[in-house]
A and B are shown apart, each in its own frame.
Chain A
């Protein structure tokens, strides 16, 4: 046996890939052929060296690191129902539901603390009929506190852009229903507010937006009512 065939046999022998009868043949060759021994020696060193390769140092891999890598590339799972889309879909649905709830006529649920919402107190012509429904007296401290807040919101409203009234009913649902919360004629009628003329006033909830083109503010009336609760 010579050349490539001899080399192939010695390689397989050195790496332990020969069958029983082939091993016997290879051993005979090694005993009789210098060429076979020379080939075998070097492959045996290579095979032995491969088993003594250095251990890899402990890696610093973690599931968190992998998750970050996946999220940073905004990779969607390849499955049919990726969890990333579930979150997005839930957010969209929630936002839609909130929008419907907020913009429904008469639902005065917009928080005055919302950065885009201004609560303004405006004069109205006459709401004596609605005042008559409020029977319980309100403590003077509560009235004072609420009036202070009303005064503040009035200042904000003065600085805001002109209000564009939406085609919605002026009074909320609550005007037709008695309420047992902290509500009174005095609250919705800030008679003690500075500069107030003493006339009846209504609370108006305004959505404030900024114009993307020229940067000016714009405001849209969402809802107005005479008995909107102010305070916590």
Chain B
């Protein structure tokens, strides 16, 4: 059956919701799964990129996440949002990869930090102020990349993706209180890495 005919048979509207698309994909309409992919791949890729700071790896993770989503579509509970579910897959993939190749990741982080100095952009108001903010942002980035994967996951979800604690809890598979605690710990861990970097930079500026 063709996709259009299938969609019509299933009563799928032009502006399909994720739930409609998932239902149709479960019933064998692959084009619906492709629509889901088109709709959410950039969110997934952006998050994976912030986790890895490698385009190739972020693309691999994005693709792998959707392959796994397709494979496990029957396990998806419709009470949850698809984005929550796919981000949960991504965070697991990122954590697994970090565990498997800590050494390789460290090397990539060093490379990435080198590239960050000129990649970080800011508003052009006061050149000096802007430079200062860029410098600090670069240090924050360095500190984020130095975090263990489990801390990086939560801090990116909360402070980069700006997810609510309830959604973070769903992604991490814990309670809302547990999610708040994890975010707090991750922020403390970030401070622990950021503080020495800021201290090191101060004497250079004087």
Contact = CB atoms under 8 A, between A and B. Distances in A.
Contact of A66 (B34, B134, B187): B34
B159 interface: yes
B37 A77 contact: no
Nearest to B46: A56
A7 B71 CA distance: 44
A53 B119 CA distance: 9
Given A52-B121, A53-B144, 14 more contacts: A11-B184, A15-B159, A49-B136, A50-B159, A52-B122, A53-B120, A54-B119, A56-B46, A56-B49, A56-B55, A61-B45, A66-B63, A75-B67, A78-B72
Contacts of B133: 48, 52
B140 A77 contact: no
A100 interface: no
Interface in B111-160: 116, 119-122, 133-134, 136-137, 139-141, 143-144, 155, 159-160
Interface of B: 25-28, 30, 34, 37-38, 41-42, 45-46, 49-50, 55, 58-59, 62-64, 66-67, 70-75, 116, 119-122, 133-134, 136-137, 139-141, 143-144, 155, 159-160, 184, 187-188, 190-191, 194-195, 198
B191 to A, nearest CB: 6
Given A43-B191, A53-B144, A70 B159 contact: no
17 contacts: A42-B191, A42-B198, A45-B140, A48-B137, A49-B144, A56-B46, A56-B50, A56-B58, A60-B59, A61-B63, A67-B34, A77-B30, A78-B70, A78-B75, A79-B26, A81-B28, A86-B28
Interface in A34-79: 42-43, 45-57, 59-61, 63, 65-67, 69-70, 73, 75, 77-79
A82 interface: yes
How many residues of A sit at the interface, in one of the four size bands? 35 or more
A15 B99 CA distance: 29
Contact of B63 (A47, A55, A65, A83): A65
A53 B70 CA distance: 31
Contacts of A67: 30, 34
Smallest CB-CB A-B distances: 4 pairs: A49-B140, A56-B49, A79-B26, A78-B74
B137 A49 contact: yes
Contacts of B144: 49-50, 53
A50 B45 contact: no
Contacts of A55: 121
A222 B63 CA distance: 51
Given A47-B159, A48-B133, A83-B28, A56 B184 contact: no
Instruction: Choose among A47, A60, A78, A80 the residue with the greatest number of B CB atoms under 10 Å from its CB.
Output: A78
A8 interface: yes
B27 A46 contact: no
Interface string A88-106: 0000000000000000000
Contact of B71 (A42, A78, A81): A78
Interface string A21-43: 00000000000000000000011
Given A50-B140, A56-B58, A79-B26, A63 B38 contact: yes
Nearest to B76: A78
Instruction: Choose among A47, A54, A60, A66 the residue with the greatest number of B CB atoms under 10 Å from its CB.
Output: A54
Contacts of B38: 63
B186 to A, nearest CB: 10
A50 B27 CA distance: 41
B25 A79 contact: yes
Contacts of B26: 77-80
A61 B55 CA distance: 11
B187 to A, nearest CB: 6
Contact of A82 (B28, B67, B75, B134): B28
Contacts of B143: 46, 49
A59 B41 contact: yes
